[in-house]
Chain A
Amino acid sequence: MKRSSPLLAFLRFLERHVSLTVLLVVFLGAIAASKPHPVTGTLTFLRAENLANLARQVSEMGILAVGMTGVILTAGIDLSVGSVLCLSSMTAAMALHPAYFGGHWAGAPAALLALLAGTLAGLANGLIIAFWRIPAFVMTLAMMSIARGLPRYLASNQSISIDGLSPLIDYLGEGTIPGTGIKIVVVIFLLSALSMGFLLGWTRTGRHIYAVGGNEEGARFAGLPTRRILVLVYTLMGFFAGLAGLAHAAQNGQGAPTDGETYELIAIAAVVIGGTSLFGGKGSILGTIVGTLIIGILNNIMGLRGISKEMQLILLGIIIVAAVKLPDLLHWFVFRLEKREKSP
């Protein structure tokens, strides 16, 4: 057999590891685009404090994307996560604040209540999608409205400040791993990713999730508990949205009615850029981490370069389309090259 040209071999490699490739390109692009620090001369993007900041910035999104991976693997979608995040952050804030829920709650029960709120919203999504056969798109769209409206109604559409109300929550928001600049929220993100990665890759339930996503009717005929699996992925999604909401409230020192708006879109984008198929059955947590980092780095470098928030949104949209189309383009290039090299 003839050896293929180095270009073809290289393209084949890119095709196989496409999201990693994008991450690499974005990372190098960010380095190239960053300015040297006026005093020390190190590139602003690569400075330790910026990298720590980047990790903090991606954490909330990453937690959502971890939950979203399970949902999308079953060929589902959850549009309610931004609202559920808000439900959770506002629940935590109201529990901590003396004016709501019968007075000032301690940090731990307030945090648990917020997680419970998120989990219950997810459970409701899952039960209705699995048992009433309402399409996930419709059900979670409805939940998007409910979970946004409920905290607004309870808090009369006010932001609730929780600065200094609980040492635990303050620690969640501002604390770091001793001796490093790594924030607690980053640790929460990594633990979320690890546990979801374990569930998906190393347990029976995880394999069932892939099976349901790959062929739901086939999974039913193979004797799998398909409905239970659907309920589980949406409930987990709700839990992770609750966790992200708690982190959000802790980091911002408040719960606000606008918390988490449009987060659902970015979480979905991170999962899809990470190579998980919207048709279900294919994808991984590793891909989702890569996708989250790609979006995070893009946002970070655009922020550093002083690109306006509005322009960031436009560019991000374009880049998402490009990143998802890239595998097709690579595939096409490889195909063309193979053909040309076969016929001399």
Chain B
Amino acid sequence: MEGISKAFPGVQALEGVSFRLRAGEIHALVGENGAGKSTLMKILGGIHRPDEGIIRIEGKACSFQGPRDAEAAGVALIHQELSLFPELSVKDNLFLGREITGPLGILDKGAMRKKAEALLARLDLDKEISPETRLGDLSLGRRQEIEILKALGLEARILVMDEPTSALSDTEVERLFAVVRRLADQGVGVIYISHRLDEIFRLCRRVTVLRDGKLAGSGPMEEMDRAGIIRMMVGREAGEYFRPTPHRPGREVLRVEGACLEGGTGGRRRLVEDVSFSVRAGEVVGLAGLLGAGRTELLEGIFGARGGRFRGKVFLEGKPVTISSPREARARGLALVTEDRARLGIFPDFDVTRNLTISSLSRFVRGGILRKSLERRAALDAVEDWNLRVPSPETSITALSGGNQQKIILARWMLTEPKVIFLDEPTRGIDVGAKAEIYNRIDHLARRGLGIVVVSSELPELLALADRVLVLCEGRLTAAFDREEASPEKVMAAAAPGGLEMET
């Protein structure tokens, strides 16, 4: 891939990135969340089309119109969430979409069975797994191997694996590594995306680091060390970020003790385990961690959005409270700006005004009647206060940019007069100008005495905003830093599973 660029509305996702994969090579692709890894791989997989740049496979320039073209050219993507169907058999999964049919379009089950057995044999699985096994009866590690087999069935020469080990146990990881090495020996080029640097050092021969959509470095693994890779991942000019003068926190407004959250079916997995922290009035607490570290889950749990699966003591202004729904959370002075703005934040059928007032309608009721004139006045005030760029309060919210939508949701929660506000990835999908405004706003709210918890995957952003940084890793609190002692390297080391030691 040479000189690949790609822009999404408001974001330059990739800028002139080149990437070279050799046959039989296992090549690590690393970078922070949002660095552009997924976009680059989606371009390779034909899901996105690049604005600039070319893809050559075995020297031939390719232009993919869609995933099918990429598949035909020998590129197979294995996603974080598997794209298999648990209710179907192994055989049916392997041949889904390209079933072998006899005359009259009738499925040739015998032929598929034989080919499935042959595929299973390539990974020595034929003794353990019958093609007729229901996929849902297999462990996650096995399912991953079936997914790889599916790619092999497509005669894939390039295999992209996105965080394949995130849900696997140690023994399953070992097996997977053996499989991947074997494929490489058979001449398949493997692109391996992972946050787990120790895995990368064990498995991969080369590494490419992306940062902010640009190439930050690339080279053979022998020439790299952990500290160097981390530096490449996070090394950004601190000056780009707004750095407020430190806040002067007041008394404690929120304390959480022993927070646990059970997840998955039957609550087998612990998404959050025994996390305790507190927030003071006028303080910005940053929550750092990798994807899946439990940051969103922790906030949603405290907020009552996960119902009874959350356990732990919550104290608001020193008083113990139980919060079993977001409605109770709101009534007690908590606010949550969710990470998934499109799904959980906005009401797409509502205009700006209605989106703004929906959580505090009782303010606009006089004599049992909702007064639209009062609502409109509040909307006009918000447009001015929050510097919203909207034609009128009656504009549909879906017509606005992500930044303006986010400001409306922030304004919505401020109308509920919260004491503590949780901001989950508040600048995700927002252009640079609006980001700066949101930073200013967060700072401003802290100065007005609000307790603020910010989750962000952009480390420099988090470090610039937060008075204190807490680091979560696999559901546990692994470190806490004051503003002065927090550095990207330290935070990353605490966030990476397996206790990444710094070699400095």
The 9 sampled A-B contact pairs (Cβ below 8 Å) are A208-B361, A218-B347, A220-B305, A220-B325, A222-B330, A223-B330, A224-B359, A225-B327, A281-B349
Is A218 a contact of B343 with CB atoms below 8 Å? yes
Instruction: Mark contacts of B344-356 with chain A using CB atoms, 8 A cut-off: 1 yes-contact digit, 0 otherwise.
Output: 1111111000100
Q: Enumerate A200-225 residues with CB–CB distance to B below 8 Å.
A: 202-204, 206-208, 210-211, 213-215, 217-225
CB-CB under 8 A from A152, the residues of chain B are none
A215 to B330 Cα, complex, angstroms: 18
Task: Point out the residues of chain A lying under 8 angstroms from B329, CB to CB.
Answer: 223
* Chain B proximity of A232: nearest CB distance (Å): 15
CB within 8 Å for A223 and B349 given contacts A203-B368, A207-B354: no
CA distance A276 to B459 in the complex (A): 46
Kindly state whether residue A104 has any CB partner on chain B within 8 Å: no
A204-B365, A218-B343, A218-B345 known; A223-B327 Cβ under 8 A: yes
Q: How far is the CA of A203 from the CA of B362 in the complex (A)?
A: 10
Binary per-residue interface labels of chain A (210-250) against chain B in the complex, 1 for a CB within 8 Å, 0 otherwise:
11011101111111110000000000000000000000000
Which residues in B have their C-beta under 8 angstroms from that of A219? 347, 358
Q: Is the CB of B350 within 8 A of A211?
A: yes
Q: Does B148 contact A (CB under 8 A)?
A: no
The count of residues in chain B whose C-beta lies closer than 8 Å to any C-beta of chain A is 28
Which chain B residues border A208 with CB–CB below 8 Å?
358, 361
Whether, in the assembled complex, A282 has its beta carbon less than 8 Å from a beta carbon of chain B, the answer is: yes
Question: In the bound complex, how far is the Cα of B367 from the Cα of A202, in angstroms?
Answer: 11
CB distance from A69 to the nearest CB of B (A): 15
Contact B349 A202 (CB under 8 A): no
**Structural contact, A206 and B347, CB atoms closer than 8 A:** no
Q: Please, which residues of chain A bring their CB within 8 A of the CB of B358?
A: 207-208, 211, 219, 222, 224
Once the chains bind, are A211 and B370 in contact (CB under 8 Å)?
A: no
Closest A residue to B336 by CB, please name it: A221
Decide if A204 touches B305 in the complex (CB within 8 Å): no
A204 and B349 within 8 A (CB): no
The smallest beta-carbon distance between A203 and chain B, in angstroms, is 6
Residues of A within 8 Å of B346, CB to CB, are 215, 218
- Is the beta-carbon distance between A202 and B359 smaller than 8 angstroms? no
Check if B361 sits within 8 Å of A207, measured CB to CB: yes
Bound: A224/B346 CA distance, A: 13
Apart from the given pairs A207-B361, A222-B412, A224-B327, 18 other A-B contacts in the complex at a CB distance below 8 Å: A202-B369, A202-B370, A203-B365, A203-B370, A208-B361, A210-B347, A210-B350, A211-B347, A213-B349, A215-B348, A217-B344, A218-B343, A218-B344, A218-B345, A220-B325, A222-B359, A223-B329, A225-B327
B350: chain A residues within 8 A (beta carbon): 210-211, 214
Q: In the docked arrangement, what's the CA distance between A217 and B369, Å?
A: 26
Contacting residues of chain B (355-412) with chain A, CB-CB under 8 angstroms: 358-359, 361-362, 365, 368-370, 412
A91 to chain B, nearest CB (A): 32
- Residue B427 is within 8 A (CB to CB) of chain A in the complex: no
| B39 is an interface residue with CB less than 8 A from chain A | no
> How near does chain A come to B153, taking the closest CB pair, in angstroms?
37
* In the complex, chain B residues whose CB is within 8 Å of the CB of A224: 327, 358-359
Residues of B104-119 whose CB lies within 8 A of A: none
Q: Does B5 contact A (CB under 8 A)?
A: no
In the complex, what distance in Å separates the CA atom of A210 from the CA atom of B358?
Answer: 10
A225 CA / B359 CA spacing, docked (Å): 10
Across the A-B interface, the 7 shortest Cβ-Cβ residue pairs: A223-B330, A281-B349, A214-B349, A204-B361, A214-B347, A221-B344, A223-B326
Interface residues of A in 167-191 (CB under 8 A from B): none
Q: B326 to chain A: which residues have CB within 8 Å?
A: 220-223
Q: What is the bound-complex CA distance between A217 and B344, given in angstroms?
A: 6
A282 CA to B446 CA in the complex, in Å?
A: 38
A273 to B255, CA, bound (A): 53
Answer yes or no: B208 CB below 8 A from chain A CBs.
no
Tell me the residues in window 213-245 of chain B with beta carbons closer than 8 Å to chain A beta carbons: none
Instruction: Chain A residues near B325: list those with CB within 8 A.
Output: 220
Contacts of B165 in A (CB 8 A): none
Chain B residue at smallest Cβ distance from A207: B361
Smallest CB gap from B354: residue in A: A207
Instruction: Give the residue name and chain of the B residue nearest to A221 (CB).
Output: B344
Cβ of B416 under 8 Å from chain A? yes
Cβ contacts under 8 Å, A225 to chain B: 327
Q: Decide yes or no whether B93 CB sits under 8 A from chain A.
A: no
Q: Which residues of B contact A202 (CB under 8 A)?
A: 369-370
B144 within 8 A of A: no
Take A221-B305, A222-B359 as given contacts and tell me if A203 and B347 are in contact as well, using a CB distance cutoff of 8 Å: no
List B contacts of A222 (CB < 8 A): 326, 330, 358-359, 412
Determine whether B456 belongs to the interface, using a CB cutoff of 8 Å to chain A. no
C-beta contact mask, A274-301 vs B, less than 8 Å → 1, else 0?
0000000110000000000000000000
User: Which of B329, B336, B349, B361 has the most C-beta atoms of chain A within 10 angstroms of its own C-beta?
Assistant: B349
Nearest CB in chain A to that of B330: its residue:
A223
A222 to B304, CA, bound (A): 12
| Contact indicator per residue, chain A 251-285, by CB within 8 Å of chain B (1) or not (0) | 00000000000000000000000000000011000
Give the docked Cα–Cα distance between A220 and B348 (Å): 15
A223 to B327, alpha carbons, bound, how many Å? 4
Whether B347 pairs with A204 at a CB distance below 8 angstroms is no
Chain A residue contacts of B327, Cβ below 8 A: 223-225
Complex CA gap A206/B368 in Å reads 12
Closest to B371 in A: A202
Inter-chain contacts of A210 with B (CB < 8 A): 347, 349-350, 354
Question: Closest CB of chain B to A305's CB: distance in Å?
Answer: 40
Nearest CB of chain B from residue A129's CB, rounded to whole Å: 18
Q: Mark B320-339, 1 if CB is under 8 A from A, else 0.
A: 00000111011100001010
Nearest residue, chain A, Cβ from B347: A214
Nearest residue, chain B, Cβ from A222:
B359
- Within the complex, which residue of A203, A211, A217 is in contact with B343, where a contact is CB–CB below 8 Å? A217
User: B359: which A residues are within 8 A, CB to CB?
Assistant: 222-224
CB contact between A214 and one of B345, B348, B416 (< 8 Å): that residue:
B348
CA distance A202 to B366 in the complex (A): 11
Distance in angstroms between the alpha carbons of A222 and B408 in the assembled complex = 13
Q: Mark A81-105, 1 if CB is under 8 A from B, else 0.
A: 0000000000000000000000000
Q: CA–CA, A87 to B330, complex, Å?
A: 41
Q: Tell whether, in the assembled complex, residue B370 and residue A204 are in contact, meaning their CB atoms are under 8 Å apart.
A: yes
Chain B residues, Cβ within 8 Å of A213? 349
* B365 CB → nearest A CB, Å: 6
Q: Which residues does chain B contribute within 8 Å of A214, judged by CB atoms?
A: 347-350
How long is the Cα–Cα vector from A223 to B415 in the complex, in angstroms? 13
Measured between C-beta atoms, what is the minimum distance from A109 to chain B in Å? 30
Residues of A within 8 A of B345 (CB): 218, 221
- Given A217-B343, A217-B344, A218-B347, check contact A204 B416 (CB 8 Å): no
A221 / chain B contacts, CB cutoff of 8 Å: 305, 326, 336, 338, 344-345
Least CB distance from B440 to A in Å reads 25
In the complex, A221→B344 CA distance in Å? 7
**Contacts of A203 on B, CB cut-off 8 Å?**
365, 368-370
Identify the closest chain B residue to A215 (Cβ).
Answer: B347
Q: Which residues of B contact A207 (CB under 8 A)?
A: 354, 358, 361, 370
Of all chain B residues, the one with the shortest Cβ separation from A225 is: B327
B264-307, CB < 8 A from A: 305
Report the minimal beta-carbon distance from B333 to chain A, rounded to whole angstroms: 11
Closest to A282 in B: B349
